[in-house]
Structure 1
Amino acid sequence: MIMGPCAGGAVYSPAMTDFIFMVRDSSYMFVTGPEVVKTVTHEEVTAEALGGATTHTTLSGVADLAFDNDVDALLMLRRLYNYLPLNNREKAPVRKSNDRADRIDISLDTLVPDNANKPYDIKELIVKVSDDGDFFELQPDYAKNIVIGFCRMEGHTVGIVANQPMVLAGCLDIKSSIKAARFVRFCDAFNIPVVTFVDVPGFLPGTSQEHGGIIKHGAKLLYAYAECTVPKITVITRKAYGGAYDVMASKHLRGDVNFAWPNAEIAVMGAKGAVEIIFREEKGDSVKIASREVEYKAKFANPFIASARGFIDDVIQPHETRKRICRSLVMLRDKKIENPWRKHGNVPL
Structure 2
Amino acid sequence: MSWQPEIDELEYRKKLALALGGPEKVKRHKDAGKLTVRERVDLYVDKESFREIGSLTGRGQYDAQGKLVGFTPSNLVMGRAMVNGSPVVVVGDDFTVRGGANDGVVGDKLIYAERMAHDLQIPMVRLVDGTGGGGSVKNIELKGHTLIPTMKVWEHVVENLMTVPVVAMALGSVAGMGAARVAASHYSVMVKGTSQLFNAGPPVVAKIGEVIDKNDLGGSQIHTRNGVVDDEVNSEQEAFERTRKFLSYLPKSVFDLAPRAEVQDDPYRQEEWLIEAIPRDPRKVYKIRPIVEAIVDKGSFFEIGKHWGKAIVTGLARVDGWSVAIVASDPYFYGGGWDKDTTEKFTRFIDLAQTFHIPVINFVDIAGFQIGSAAEKAGIMRYGVRALSAVYQATIPWCSFIIRRAYGVAAAGHQHMGRHNFRYAWPSGNWGSLPIEGGLDVAYKAEIEGADDPVQKRQEIEQRVRRLTSPFLSAEAFVIEDIIDPRETRRLACEFVNTVIPLLKPGRNQFGYRP
What residue in structure 1 maps to residue 217 of structure 2? 50
Counterpart residue type for residue 184 of structure 2:
M
Q: How do residues 326-337 of structure 1 correspond to structure 2 at under 5 angstroms?
A: 326-335=494-503
User: What is the Cα deviation at residue 239 of structure 1?
Assistant: 0.7
| Residue 441 (structure 2) aligns with | 276
Greater relative contact order structure (CA < 8 Å, 6+ sep): 1
Local SS of the residue matching 1:162: strand
Aligned mate of 1:91, from 257, 279, 284: 257
In the TM superposition, residue 188 of structure 1 has moved relative to its aligned partner by 0.6
CA contact (8 A) 1:282 1:288 kept: yes
Change (3 A) 1:332 1:346: closer
Alpha-carbon separation, structure 2, partners of 1:15 and 1:344: 19
Mapped partners of 1:272, 1:145: distance in 2: 20
Deviation string 1:85-133 (CA, Å, 9 cap, x unpaired) is: 1111212121122311122211001010110010001111101001014
Q: 1:135 aligns with which of 287, 301, 306?
A: 301
Q: 251-260 or 111-120: which moved more?
A: 251-260
Given the alignment of the two structures, is residue 19 of structure 1 paired with residue 184 of structure 2, yes or no? no
Query: Retained in 2: the 8 A contact 1:266–1:302?
Result: no
- Opposite residue 455 of structure 2, the aligned amino acid is S
Structure 2: how far apart are the matches of 1:206 and 1:289?
A: 24
Q: CA deviation at 1:278?
A: 1.7
The equivalent residue for 2:42 is: none
Q: Deviations over 1:265-296 (max 9, x none)?
A: 11111122222222223255333322322322
Structure 2 counterparts to residues 1-349 of structure 1, below 5 A = 1-40=169-208, 42-58=209-225, 60-249=226-415, 252=417, 254=419, 256-280=421-445, 281-282=447-448, 284-299=453-468, 301-335=469-503, 344=511
**In the aligned structure 2, how far is the partner of 1:261 from the partner of 1:102?**
18
Report the CA distance between 1:253 and its aligned residue: 5.7
What is the RMSD of the two structures over their aligned residues, measured on CA atoms? 2.3
DSSP-derived class of the 1:239 partner:
strand
d(CA) in 1 for partners of 2:336 and 2:344? 15
Give the CA deviation at 1:242. Answer: 1.3
Q: Contact conserved, 1:234 with 1:255, CA < 8 A, in 2? A: no
User: Does the CA contact (< 8 Å) of 2:187 and 2:243 recur in 1?
Assistant: no
For the pair shown, which has the larger CA radius of gyration, 1 or 2? 2
Unaligned ranges ≥5, structure 2: 1-168
Task: Kindly provide the amino acid, as one letter, of the partner of residue 204 in structure 1.
Answer: Q
Query: 1:187 & 1:72 partners in 2: Cα distance?
Result: 24
**AA matched with 1:218:** G
The 3 A distance-change label for structure 1 pair 136 and 344 is closer
Secondary structure of 1:230's match? Answer: coil
Residues 297 and 133 of structure 1: is their aligned pair in 2 closer, same or farther, counting only changes over 3 Å? farther
- CA–CA separation in structure 2 for the residues paired with 1:312 and 1:182: 28
**TM-score normalised by the chain length of structure 2:** 0.63
Give per-residue Cα distances to partners, 1:215-268, cap 9 Å, x unaligned: 11111210111111111100111111111210222x536461111111211111
* Contact preservation (8 Å) 1:225, 1:253: no
Is the contact between residue 145 and residue 170 of structure 1 (CA under 8 Å) also seen in structure 2? Answer: yes
Contact 2:182 2:229 in 1 (8 A): no
- Alpha carbons 2:365, 2:403 under 8 Å: kept: yes
Number of corresponding residues: 342
Identity of aligned residues (%): 29
Cα pair distance change 1:346/1:103, threshold 3 Å: closer
Residues 305 and 45 of structure 1: is their aligned pair in 2 closer, same or farther, counting only changes over 3 Å?
farther
Amino acid in structure 2 at the alignment position of 1:43: E
Contact 2:193 2:220 in 1 (8 A): yes
SS at the partner of 2:335?
A: helix
- Asked if structure 2 preserves the Cα contact closer than 8 Å seen for 1:266 and 1:306, the reply is no
State the TM-score, normalizing by the size of structure 1: 0.91
Letter in 2 for 1:48: N
Distance 2:464 2:500 in 1: 38
